[in-house]
Amino acid sequence: EAGVAQSPRYKIIEKRQSVAFWCNPISGHATLYWYQQILGQGPKLLIQFQNNGVVDDSQLPKDRFSAERLKGVDSTLKIQPAKLEDSAVYLCASSVAQESYGYTFGSGTRLTVV
Amino acid sequence: DQQVKQNSPSLSVQEGRISILNCDYTNSMFDYFLWYKKYPAEGPTFLISISSIKDKNEDGRFTVFLNKSAKHLSLHIVPSQPGDSAVYFCAASYTGANSKLTFGKGITLSVRP
């Protein structure tokens, strides 16, 4: 079974620029998550999709972050404009169902904002 | 407000000995707990979990203990192996949270050969 694919692996941008991350979940996984992991902290949920609908985006800074999961498969997470404090690893994860705790995480995208 | 706390940032043990990783939580609604393991440049991988209806769950060399009255759980690795060297995250969720996980900051385990 192929894992969760994320790209790019690394990204360096200047503050106020925009950036987008892409995630392809495991085939057949209905639930998709984006987590933000700041250095020295645990992952924090940004947004959760069930198919192409948003289940939870309560911790997504909506003034600058947006995410979509068109057709209920791939997902993109965008930051516009980026701030220095957005430097983090952005992890995508997927699971079979909404109440399934055993996520499979991708390797993440490491974002550095300078 | 940190609801899941891993107060020790690092732990070093000798190969073959027991590793005990601790985790505390403050939210009484949590009823499901997980441990994830993370190697550098990789995403976290699920290791073991426990429901609040149990106080122990075992899987090979890994055992998780839950003390609900103390709001404390621990992961025991016996015997520890050098390949176990990684960052270990404790995570928690509750029924109705749509499987949203709240993670601790992680503990870096180093197993010395």
Name chain B contacts of A48, Cβ cutoff 8 Å. Answer: 98-100
Instruction: Return the number of other C-beta atoms located less than 10 Å from residue A45's C-beta.
Output: 23
Name chain B contacts of A50, Cβ cutoff 8 Å. Answer: 98
pLDDT recorded at residue A2: 78
pLDDT recorded at residue B85: 98
Q: Print pLDDT tens along chain A (114 aa).
A: 679 999 999 999 999 999 999 999 999 899 999 999 999 999 999 999 998 899 999 999 999 999 999 888 999 999 999 999 999 999 999 998 766 677 899 999 999 999
Residue B110 CA to residue B19 CA, distance in Å, equals 10
Contact yes or no for B105 and A42 at CB 8 A: yes
Q: By CB neighbour count within 10 A (0-12 exposed, 13-18 middle, 19+ buried), where does A35 fall?
A: buried
Residue A63 CA to residue A7 CA, distance in Å, equals 23
Region B8-34: mean pLDDT is 96
Q: What are phi and psi of B84, to 5 degrees?
A: -80, -10
By Cβ distance, the residue of B43, B91, B101 closest to A107 is: B43
A16, A82 in Cβ contact below 8 A?
yes
Given a cut of 80, is residue B69 above it in pLDDT? yes
Q: With pLDDT > 70 as the criterion, what percentage of chain B qualifies?
A: 100
Q: Does B44 touch chain A (CB under 8 A)?
A: yes
Residue B47 CA to residue B93 CA, distance in Å, equals 15
Contact yes or no for B103 and A44 at CB 8 A: yes
Q: Tell me the residue type at B23.
A: C
Q: Does A105 touch chain B (CB under 8 A)?
A: yes
| Mean pLDDT estimate for chain B | 95
Region B33-44: mean pLDDT is 94
Helix (DSSP H) and strand (DSSP E) numbers for chain B: 0, 11
Given a cut of 70, is residue B47 above it in pLDDT? yes
Given a cut of 70, is residue B15 above it in pLDDT? yes
Given a cut of 70, is residue B101 above it in pLDDT? yes
Q: Does B17 touch chain A (CB under 8 A)?
A: no
User: pLDDT-based confidence at B96, cuts 50/70/90?
Assistant: confident
CB pairs under 8 A between A and B: 56
Q: With pLDDT > 90 as the criterion, what percentage of chain B qualifies?
A: 91
The DSSP 8-state label assigned to residue B91 in this structure reads: E
The DSSP 8-state label assigned to residue B3 in this structure reads: S
Q: Are strands A88-95 and A104-105 parallel, antiparallel or unpaired?
A: antiparallel
Contact yes or no for B44 and A43 at CB 8 A: yes
Coil, strand or helix at A70: helix
Region B64-74: mean pLDDT is 97
For chain B, first and last CA: distance in Å? 38
Q: Does A28 touch chain B (CB under 8 A)?
A: no
A14, A114 in Cβ contact below 8 A?
yes
pLDDT recorded at residue A101: 74
Instruction: Return the number of other C-beta atoms located less than 10 Å from residue A94's C-beta.
Output: 24
Q: Does A106 touch chain B (CB under 8 A)?
A: yes
Q: Are strands A10-13 and A109-113 parallel, antiparallel or unpaired?
A: parallel
Q: Does A53 touch chain B (CB under 8 A)?
A: no
Q: Are strands B10-14 and A44-50 parallel, antiparallel or unpaired?
A: unpaired
